[in-house]
Structure formats: C-alpha cells, structure tokens
C-alpha cells in the first residue's frame, strides 16, 4: 500500500478542523442582530451562577417556579472560583450557547462581556428600573452609558479593628498610622489588607489610589496613573510595608490568610470583606470575638474609596426567552428578594432603602458601615480589557510594595501596560 492507512484519520481530523473553525468562531459583527432576537420569547430559562454558599438561590427559584409553572427556571451552578466562573461563561458565550439565559457576572466582567456583544442591553423593550438602587452598583453594571446587567448584590471593603486596643476608630489614613504605636506596644502587626499577587491586590491598590483622590482610569477610560494623587495613594502602601506597619507576611495574604491573622489577634487593623464578621464572632478559635470593631475604610481626608464588589445578573443575547428573563431579573431585584439575600445569605442588597430597615440592621450589624462604604465606593477600572488591566496593576503594585521598584517606575509601567492592552491588536 502506498499511502499509510493511518494518515486517513489524521486527514479527516484536519478537514474537520478547518470546516468547523470556519463555521464556528464568534463574530462581534453579528451582535446587533442577536440582540434583536427573542425579545418576546417566553418559556423555561436557565440561571447560571457560581457556588450558592448560603443556599439563597434554590429557595428563590422554587418560589419563582411555583408562581410561573410555564416559565420554570433551572439553576446551573458553577464552581466557587471567580476565574473559573469567568472562563466558563466565556466558553459558553463564544459557543453561542442558547442554554445560558441569565448569568450572574462579577462586577468587573460587565464591560468585557458587553463589549464582546454577549450581554443584552437593558434598554427600550428590555428596560429595567434602577432608580432605587445605589448609584455605584448601577455604574458598575453599565457600559458606555447603557445598562447591561441588573445589579444583584453588592460588597464593599470594611475596616476591622480591635475595640479593646483602640476605643475610637480612625477617620483618616494618617490617623490610623499614628495609632500603630499601640500595635508595637502589644507586639502585633498594625494593618494588613490583601497583597498577594491576585485580584485582591488590584482591589487594595485601586482602593489606595482612589482613596487618595487619584484614579486608575479617567472618565474616557484612559489610564491616568501619572498623577501626584495616584503616587500618594500607592505610597501609603509601599511606605507602610517598608517601615513594618504592614507586616512582611502580608505579602502572602489573600482574604483567608488575613482573616486568620486578625482572628488570632495578630493585627490591629484589617481591611476585608463583610464575610469576616460572621466568622470572627462565631468561630471557636477566634480570639477577637468580643472586641470586634468595624468602620468604613479610611482615605486621605475622610472615608476611603472602597472597591466595589458584588454581582449583577445579565441576560445573554443568545437567549430565546428574553421576556421571561427580563421578568426574572425584575424578580431578583425586587425588595422581597433583596431582603431575602440579606437575611438568608448575608449578601448586601443593592436597594438603598433596605440599609435603613430595622430588621436587617439587627441581623447584620455592619449594614450602616457597609452603606457608607458602598456609597463612597469606586468601581475597579471599568474597561473591556479588564483581565489585562488587572494583570498590569498586580504585577507592578506587587513589585512596588516589595520594594523591588520605585513607585514612579511602577505607576509609569502600569500606565504603559494599560495603554498597550487597550490599543487593541
């Protein structure tokens, strides 16, 4: 035989590849067309979200299904890891999967997904009322002035502190740093946030820069890091690390490691998310159960600008039943559901009025602090190139904090990297 038989399957695979890659492969150019489809469709839909830690979603969906027997919602649960949730959504959107109708997106992904034409703009026929929602949450769900997702729940940074060692909470960064002598007397670290090289570092760095009055991206979405405010902001972190106010091990801290250090009594001040409250006051090994104080983050001259966390619910352009999806979005943002999120799941609501609700405040004592935090919050850079931007920030901030780079060099490199990433290939 002249041609080895085995080449046949290889050739088949090759032809298959070329054909499929010609057919498949996404195109942003047809996004407009997709957005016009299925606007009146009604029927069963699927809701995709990351791990439902506190068992809030299932009861909500049961409630909806009981009231809408012909438009049942199926819950597709992803993993607990943000990165994997992101990649899973990207894979399915690229494959134009019609089975992902409503998806829960982290606030930093909205711009990226909107720019790729995967999220249905919530305007005209698909309009959603956002007047009762906290403004930063609506901003983070919008791109280029259009709303692309319904804010679902929110999150802001909280400054935890030891009430027994520091009776009154500091109001500014300098004030907090001046209280570090108390920490040295007690042989513990003064302050720590999250400084390992991961998304949490972007959160902390943006907070530092925004709290000093600077901004990573300006109003047009262009990087604006070569400003004295940005420099002052980053310097708060680098100087504190250099002189030991931030303990050396904080460079390995993600949320859990910082929480552990604080619960062990090794930190005076700690920046973390609201989830710490429940664990620090109930876990057996926590040494700070009765002396836990909470306040808003601190900035240059007043409350600091917390990074906005949380999730929004977006509608896929490839969905066939968009009318049902819109109703589901309205359900998720209704007062009843938002209250349930708070009481059952300790998830901060997006409706401003609920923060003054007595029942909720009793259940979640940190709500007033959180409201201040969110009202002063600045979203992380809103850009469709978010993965590249966050990498740029992480790389350079990490080097700057460790002292491997000067703050000027770090900011300048951050600026150049973001410019390069946004240049589009």
Query: Given candidates 38, 117, 233, 349, which one binds another protein under the rule CB under 8 A?
Result: 117
Q: Is 256 in the site for another protein (CB under 8 A)?
A: yes
Q: Is 74 in the site for another protein (CB under 8 A)?
A: no
Which residue lies nearer to another protein by CB, 323 or 393?
393
Least Å distance between CB 285 and another protein? 5
Least Å distance between CB 108 and another protein? 12
Kindly identify the residues of this chain, within the stretch 186-205, that bind another protein according to CB under 8 A.
196-198
Kindly identify the residues of this chain, within the stretch 274-313, that bind another protein according to CB under 8 A.
275, 278-279, 282-286
Least Å distance between CB 142 and another protein? 11
Kindly identify the residues of this chain, within the stretch 14-73, that bind another protein according to CB under 8 A.
14, 16-18, 20-21, 24-25, 27-29, 31, 51-55, 58
Structure tokens at 111: 């711009």
- Which residues does 160 contact at the CB level (< 8 Å), separation at least 6? 262, 269, 270, 271, 272, 276, 280, 292, 293, 294
Which residue lies nearer to another protein by CB, 331 or 385?
385
Query: Given candidates 47, 61, 86, 120, which one binds another protein under the rule CB under 8 A?
Result: 86
Q: Is 408 in the site for another protein (CB under 8 A)?
A: no
Q: Is 241 in the site for another protein (CB under 8 A)?
A: no
Q: Is 144 in the site for another protein (CB under 8 A)?
A: yes
Query: Given candidates 70, 131, 358, 425, which one binds another protein under the rule CB under 8 A?
Result: 425
Query: Given candidates 251, 291, 300, 361, which one binds another protein under the rule CB under 8 A?
Result: 251
Which residue lies nearer to another protein by CB, 229 or 249?
249
Which residue lies nearer to another protein by CB, 407 or 418?
418
Kindly identify the residues of this chain, within the stretch 150-189, that bind another protein according to CB under 8 A.
none
Q: Is 235 in the site for another protein (CB under 8 A)?
A: no
Q: Is 414 in the site for another protein (CB under 8 A)?
A: yes
Which residue lies nearer to another protein by CB, 228 or 403?
403
Strand bridging mode 308-315 / 149-156: antiparallel
Q: How many angstroms separate the CA atoms of 287 and 387, rounded?
A: 38
Q: What is the 3-state secondary structure (H, E, C) of the chain?
A: CCCCCCHHHHHHHHHHHHHHHHHCCCCHHHHHHHHHCCCCCCCCEEEEECCCCCCCHHHHHHHHHHHCCCCCEEEEECCCCHHHHHHHHHHHHHCCCCCCCEEEEEHHHHHHHHHCCCECCCCHHHCCCCCCECHHHHHHCEECCEECEEEEEEEECEEEEECCCCCCCCCEHHHHHHCHHHHHHCCCEEEECCCCCCHHHHHHHHHHHHHCCCCCECCCCCECCCCHHHHHHHHHHHHHHHCCCCCHHHHHCCHHHHHHHHHCCCEEEEEECCHHHHHHHHCCCCCCCCCEEEECCEECCCECCCEEEEEEEEEECCCCCHHHHHHHHHHHCCHHHHHHHHHHHCCECCEHHHHHCHHHHHHCCCHHHHHHHHHCCECCCCCCCHHHHHHHHHHHHHHHHCCCCCHHHHHHHHHHHHHHHHCCC
From 81-89, 122-130, 209-217, 333-341, span contacting another protein (CB under 8 A)? 81-89
Which residue lies nearer to another protein by CB, 227 or 281?
281
What is the chain's Cα-based Rg?
24
Q: Is 264 in the site for another protein (CB under 8 A)?
A: yes
Q: Is 239 in the site for another protein (CB under 8 A)?
A: no
Beta partners for residue 418, in sequence order: none
Query: Given candidates 65, 172, 257, 344, which one binds another protein under the rule CB under 8 A?
Result: 257
Kindly identify the residues of this chain, within the stretch 333-352, that bind another protein according to CB under 8 A.
346-347
Which residue lies nearer to another protein by CB, 57 or 323?
57
Least Å distance between CB 144 and another protein? 4
Structure tokens at 308: 């906005």
- Which residues does 88 contact at the CB level (< 8 Å), separation at least 6? 78, 79
Least Å distance between CB 174 and another protein? 27
Which residue lies nearer to another protein by CB, 266 or 371?
266
Least Å distance between CB 268 and another protein? 17
Total number of residues that touch another protein (CB under 8 A)? 95
Kindly identify the residues of this chain, within the stretch 382-401, that bind another protein according to CB under 8 A.
384-385, 387-388, 391-393, 395-396, 398-399
């Amino acid at each position: 035989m002249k041609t080895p038989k085995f080449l046949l399957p290889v050739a088949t695979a090759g032809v298959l590849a070329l054909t499929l890659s010609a057919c498949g492969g996404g195109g942003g150019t047809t996004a407009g067309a997709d957005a016009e489809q299925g606007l009146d469709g009604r029927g069963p839909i699927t809701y995709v979200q990351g791990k439902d830690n506190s068992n809030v979603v299932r009861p909500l969906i049961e409630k909806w299904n009981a009231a809408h027997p012909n438009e049942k919602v199926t819950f597709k649960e992803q993993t607990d890891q943000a990165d994997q949730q992101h990649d899973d959504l990207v894979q399915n959107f690229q494959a134009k999967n019609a089975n992902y109708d409503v998806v829960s997106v982290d606030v930093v992904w909205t711009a990226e997904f909107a720019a790729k034409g995967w999220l249905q703009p919530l305007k005209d026929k698909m309009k959603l009322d956002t007047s009762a929602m906290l403004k930063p949450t609506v901003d983070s769900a919008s791109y280029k002035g259009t709303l692309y997702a319904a804010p679902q729940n929110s999150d802001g940074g909280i400054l935890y502190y030891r009430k027994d060692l520091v009776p009154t909470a500091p109001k500014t960064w300098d004030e907090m740093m001046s209280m570090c002598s108390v920490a040295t007397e007690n042989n513990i670290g003064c302050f720590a946030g999250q400084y390992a090289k991961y998304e949490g570092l972007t959160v902390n760095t943006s907070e530092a820069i925004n709290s000093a009055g600077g901004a990573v991206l300006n109003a047009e979405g262009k990087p604006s890091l070569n400003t004295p405010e940005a420099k002052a902001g980053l310097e708060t972190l680098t100087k504190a690390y250099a002189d030991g106010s931030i303990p050396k091990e904080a460079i390995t801290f993600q949320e859990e490691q910082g929480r552990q250090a604080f619960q062990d009594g090794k930190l005076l001040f700690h920046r973390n998310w609201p989830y710490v409250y429940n664990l620090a006051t109930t876990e057996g090994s926590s040494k700070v159960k009765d002396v836990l104080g909470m306040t808003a983050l601190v900035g240059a001259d007043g409350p600091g600008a917390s990074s906005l966390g949380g999730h929004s619910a977006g509608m896929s352009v490839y969905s066939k039943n968009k009318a049902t999806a819109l109703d589901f979005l309205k359900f998720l943002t209704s007062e009843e559901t938002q209250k349930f999120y708070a009481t059952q799941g300790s998830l901060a609501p997006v409706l401003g009025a609920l923060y003054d609700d007595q029942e909720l405040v009793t259940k979640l004592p940190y709500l007033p602090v959180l409201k201040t935090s969110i009202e002063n919050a600045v979203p992380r850079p809103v850009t469709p190139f978010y993965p590249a931007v966050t990498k740029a920030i992480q790389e350079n901030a990490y080097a700057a904090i460790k002292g491997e780079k000067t703050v000027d060099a770090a900011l300048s490199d951050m600026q150049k990297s973001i410019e390069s990433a946004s240049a589009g290939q």
